[in-house]
A = this chain, B = another copy of it.
Amino acid sequence: MTYCVAITVDAGLVFASDSRTNAGVDQLSTYSKMFCFEEPGERVLVLLTAGNLATSQAVVMQLKRDMKQGKLPNLSSVEHLSEAAEYVGEISLAQQQKHVNAAAGSGLDTSASFVLGGQIGKARPKVFMIYPEGNFISATGETPYQQIGEIKYGKPILDRIIRPETTLEEAALCALVSMDSTMRSNATVGPPIEVLLYEAGSLRLERQFSFGADHPYLLSLKSDWEQALKQAFSTLQHFDWHSPLQN
């Protein structure tokens, strides 16, 4: 599985993704799930992928090929981010359909989902989540993040921390904590963890980071968060569990 999250705050966007791919417990590999498309000063797009690796790789390859060959639409030609989301959705659906007949009855799931975020020109930065069926939804002020893959373990901390006024740096830290909670409870999500901070209006992707399994910051965050959580838990007031049959 996979865990990817994109966070929208007033200051910009934060993207985070794990890199573990598994097709059964004896086929664990590492693949980046974060793809960046940048025309500095003009447009930036970041794509996160989850689901069938063959499908998501085929989609990314076609996105690059369409741009190179100038086939329209492509990520350089679209005028709005929502057009880009629609285009990615169409490509994804087409790639999945290529294998539908071969996969029928085999139990193979060729579906993939995507998070696409970025900024084009002077429009506001946006994030879309693209379903396997090709349709998509956008993150809003009330729902300031989009997740794909193993989304549940890391959702509670996002729900509690992320607000429109959260800084980019806090949002990036929260994404890492959300990722850490997911890795702690689910073996199919693993490092390297890629994190990208995009400052609204900059139209440049300059702050991209990769944390390997033994990155000192990732290790210390893991143990610091464990300690901080235990400390937080220890401050909670206990209920009087001794009164029998109390309601």
Interface residues of A (CB under 8 A from B): 150, 152-153, 155-157, 159-161, 168-169, 172-174, 176-177, 181, 184-186, 197, 206-210, 217, 220-221, 224-226, 228-233, 235-239, 241-242, 244-247
Contacts and interface: CB of A to CB of B under 8 A. Distances in A.
A237 B210 contact: no
B153 A206 contact: no
Tally of this chain's copies: 2
Contacts of A230: 160-161
Contact of A239 (B172, B210, B229, B231): B172
A236 B161 CA distance: 13
A160 to B, nearest CB: 6
A226 B54 CA distance: 41
A156 B160 CA distance: 15
Contact of A207 (B153, B181, B235, B241): B241
Nearest to A220: B237
A244 B152 contact: no
7 contacts: A161-B233, A169-B238, A174-B233, A197-B241, A221-B237, A224-B236, A228-B233
Given A207-B244, A239-B173, A239-B217, A229 B226 contact: no
A150 B151 CA distance: 12
A148 to B, nearest CB: 15
Given A206-B244, A221-B237, A224-B236, 7 more contacts: A153-B153, A172-B239, A173-B239, A176-B239, A209-B246, A209-B247, A231-B232
Contact of A153 (B156, B210, B231): B156
A177 to B, nearest CB: 7
A105 B224 CA distance: 50
